[in-house]
Structure 1
Amino acid sequence: MQQFPGGLRQIGDNPDLVRQHIQEAQLAGIDGFIVNRASDLAVLLPLARTMGFSVTLQLSGGESELRAFYQYIDDPAMVRYQGHPVLFFWQAGLAGPDLWRTLRASIDPDHNVLWLADGDKFNILHDDVWDGVSPYAIAWSRSPGGQLVNWAAQARANGPDKLYVPPVSPGCDDSLVRAPTCVQDRADGAYYQATWEGAIAARPAWAVVVSTFNEWMEATQIEPSAQYGDQYLRLTREFSDAFKSS
């Protein structure tokens, strides 16, 4: 079993910063990163190859971004499940099914890459376009443990042969940058623990996604900070070890 944090942002072309992030992640038991731009793969993949790490993309753009991702799918550092590269799609339901069906038929009709949809509308799994579902956000929930188990049941009911990859999160607070859409107190790590307990109870076949590693705007980050030190990296290591041994 593996875990991958989403929301890796603001790396630019700084290999030293990338190397630092990877080292911190590995100490926390994290196996790979999910980045937000296909162009970041050119920076991360070469370093990941030398460090025993993996990287993939959460697609939030259109066809050009999708095609850019496919240029990297043979890289040995690409995140894989059963030998297949894995690609995450942010808010997959917004574009409508016809677009994704057209792109799948055009770019990857044989499902060489596994496509995982974001969102909590699990009937999307009835569409052959998708190989699984990985909801991006959980920190909005007041009862994340039960929510993650409920999502697992819905995913298996709608796509019994498809992947369900649950998210875990330390909390959130975007009130400093916009009208708040997510404010969830971290409770000194208790909220993070509740999401991990729910993810483990959901019995995913493969991985969980840490949402996020360094999304500071929404305060979902686990990377070291002045406020929390390395508390959330240490917690991630503890929970990751429990998950991988479950």
Structure 2
Amino acid sequence: MKRLFKFIVLAFFFLNSCASSDALSKQAEVESITPTPTNTIIPQISNTPTFQPTSTQLVKTNQFYKLNIKFICVSKFCSIEFLNPEIIQNVTNVEYDEQLIVSFEYPFINIDRHAESNPTGKPVEINFVIHINPDALENGLRIRSRHAYEGGSSFYLLHLEKGVETQITWFDHYFRNPINPDENPEVFVLSLESLKNIIPITEKVVLAAPEKMLWAVYYPWIGWKQGLECTDHPLLLYEFEQDGSRTIETYRQEILLAKRAGIDGFFVSWFNDPVSNHELENLLIVANEMDFKIAIYLESLLDNKVNPDIGKSIIYAARNFGDHPAYMRINGLPVIMLYGYQNETFEFWKSLFDLLHEMDIDAAYIPTSYNLNDLQITTGLHQYINLTTENLNNLYSTLSNSIKYYSFGKETKKYFVATVTPGFNNCPYDNKDQFLMVERDNGDFFREQFNSAVQSNPDWIMITSWNEFGENTHIAPSETYGEIYLEIAKEFSDKWKNR
């Protein structure tokens, strides 16, 4: 008897935090101090147009060849490794005999047989469906096959159309490699040229969320020292309401600037308090007018530990903001960027999310984690900041591909959010014991980080930050840097979205 198995990628990636000090912990006590700019580059908006909210259903047209794979093993173990997995859009319908031990860690597929019930010499089979990109047929499908000392394997690639299978290509791998007779590795290149004579399937796909969104972390509060020489100041003259929250006109000016830089939304630093809630309400009003998206960046830490009221904050956010037309959702669930996730265990978060689910509170959680195991209970992964460019290309590409492959065979897609920052200098927080500085290098550091992010083809990119002047990660127009970082963001936003 065969069963349909859901496969889990058992790969883990960890990032040692580059900024684990208290200097990177967001402060809950806010000083509402109005900066005094020397001038402003922000044009006054007259007759601001009202934008209609974006449709809740996003549809794209996708083309692919639907191919069935039959992998037959007549050995103690067999494995295949896809060497050009980028040409495969999806993997579905994985089926195999329940008595087999199958490890589906895409792009690896390994078969082990129970010796008693499946002795060597008896053929065993695994079947699955792949979707091939019709624009990537030129170099064929490259596979590395392995098997034990005795026996071997067969691989069949069949085209599926209207329930009819047509064999496209195949290979047998039963010979021994004298250099490595225990694994017998051999690379096969399967031609896909015959598919060019077949019309690919065209399918409309409902997206869970917009693709290739550029976000920036936004701070509606000021918590750093304004008088220090190392403190930069925004060129936008902030205006405040009586409770200390910024005015709707201030938010309107900032969103206009962000949109000009190719930014699609703000992840808003949020504490569950009256001022933060008022700020978020105003931001959502303006964002809805201007076809812009908002989601909270939940400040979950209290004294460097997860706030015991974290559950109450999630409930409040979901019930009061999650259904707003300007609030970002994935598969209908409100997005919550979760800062400080690494300060508690997987079991803690799973228990919390399960408890909230029982209360009909669900969200698309994207925590500060690069551990693929966390995708079991979350929608995606990100980090608040990465203060390096060394090996960032490799890190982001590995994460992007791993999360993409993790989604294969799952009911819902998982998201990789690549983080970029222009530099770092926490001098304005005046914490001499934890001083940290990463030079901006006239924008080159930002460009290098952005280039690594774009090359990895992530689902989203997050800029840290729009206006965290206390750590000098801001890209908002300022007295020191003018608009240079908005120009860089626009350059890379266009490059990425037009790929």
How high is the TM-score relative to the length of structure 1? 0.88
1:5 aligned partner = 216
1:176-196 CA-partner distances (Å, limit 9, x unpaired): 422346421111111111111
- Give 3-state SS (helix, strand or coil) of 1:152's partner: helix
Mapped contact 2:454–2:492 kept (Cα < 8 A): no
Q: Following TM superposition, by how much is the alpha carbon of 1:130 offset from its aligned partner in structure 2, in angstroms? A: 1.0
- Give 3-state SS (helix, strand or coil) of 2:295's partner: strand
1:239 aligned partner = 492
2:126 aligned partner = none
1:173 aligned partner = 425
2:442 aligned partner = 188
| 1:1-246 → structure 2 map (5 Å cutoff) | 1-10=212-221, 12-37=245-270, 39=277, 40-61=279-300, 62-71=310-319, 72-108=321-357, 112-125=362-375, 128-153=376-401, 155-156=403-404, 161-177=413-429, 178=431, 179-180=433-434, 182-204=436-458, 206-246=459-499
More helix by share: 1
What do you get for the CA RMSD once the two structures are aligned? 2.3
- Give 3-state SS (helix, strand or coil) of 1:105's partner: helix
Range with greater deviation from structure 2 (8-17 or 37-46)? 8-17
Q: Following TM superposition, by how much is the alpha carbon of 1:111 offset from its aligned partner in structure 2, in angstroms? A: 8.4
| AA matched with 1:33 | F
Identical positions, percent:
24
More strand by share: 2
2:200 aligned partner = none
Mapped contact 1:139–1:170 kept (Cα < 8 A): no
Unpaired runs of 5+ residues, structure 2, are 1-211, 223-244, 301-309
Range with greater deviation from structure 2 (171-180 or 42-51)? 171-180
Distance in 1, Cα, partners of 2:444 & 2:488: 10
Q: Following TM superposition, by how much is the alpha carbon of 1:233 offset from its aligned partner in structure 2, in angstroms? A: 0.7
Q: Following TM superposition, by how much is the alpha carbon of 1:169 offset from its aligned partner in structure 2, in angstroms? A: 0.9
How many residue pairs get matched? 243
How high is the TM-score relative to the length of structure 2? 0.45
**Which structure has more RCO (C-alpha within 8 Å, separation ≥ 6)?**
1
Range with greater deviation from structure 2 (84-93 or 142-151)? 142-151
Unpaired runs of 5+ residues, structure 1, are none
Q: Following TM superposition, by how much is the alpha carbon of 1:197 offset from its aligned partner in structure 2, in angstroms? A: 0.9
- Give 3-state SS (helix, strand or coil) of 1:9's partner: coil
Evaluate the alpha carbon distance shift between residue 136 and residue 95 of structure 1 in structure 2; reply closer, same or farther with a 3 A threshold. same
Q: Following TM superposition, by how much is the alpha carbon of 1:52 offset from its aligned partner in structure 2, in angstroms? A: 0.7
Range with greater deviation from structure 2 (78-87 or 53-62)? 78-87
Mapped contact 2:369–2:381 kept (Cα < 8 A): yes
